[in-house]
Amino acid sequence: EAGVAQSPRYKIIEKRQSVAFWCNPISGHATLYWYQQILGQGPKLLIQFQNNGVVDDSQLPKDRFSAERLKGVDSTLKIQPAKLEDSAVYLCASSLDGGSQETQYFGPGTRLLVL
């Protein structure tokens, strides 16, 4: 079974530029999550999708971050414009149907450095 795929693995941009990350979840998983992991901290949920609908985006900085999951499969997270404090690892995860007991399966992450 293929795992969660993410690209790119690394990205370096200058502040005020834009960047996009892509995620393809495990086949058949209805729920997709984007997390931000700042160095020295645990992952923080940015947004959760159930199929192609948003379940929770309460911690997504909506003035600069956007995400979509068209057709309920893969997803894109965009930052525009980027700030220095956006430097972090962006993790994508998926689970079968989003229940609180479920195991989440994580991709390898995209490491973003904003200069």
Partner 1 sequence: AQSVTQLDSQVPVFEEAPVELRCNYSSSVSVYLFWYVQYPNQGLQLLLKYLSGSTLVESINGFEAEFNKSQTSFHLRKPSVHISDTAEYFCAVSGSNDYKLSFGAGTTVTVRA
Are the beta carbons of 55 and 72 closer than 8 angstroms?
no
27 near partner 1, judged by CB under 8 A: no
Angle at 88 between CA 34 and CA 43, to 5 degrees: 50
53 near partner 1, judged by CB under 8 A: no
We find the least distance from the C-beta atom of residue 67 to partner 1, in angstroms, to be 16
Which of 4, 19, 32, 77 binds partner 1 (CB under 8 A)? It is: 4
What is the Cα–Cα distance from 60 to 39, expressed in whole angstroms?
18
Contact pattern for partner 1 over residues 55 through 84, marking x by CB under 8 A: xx----------------------------
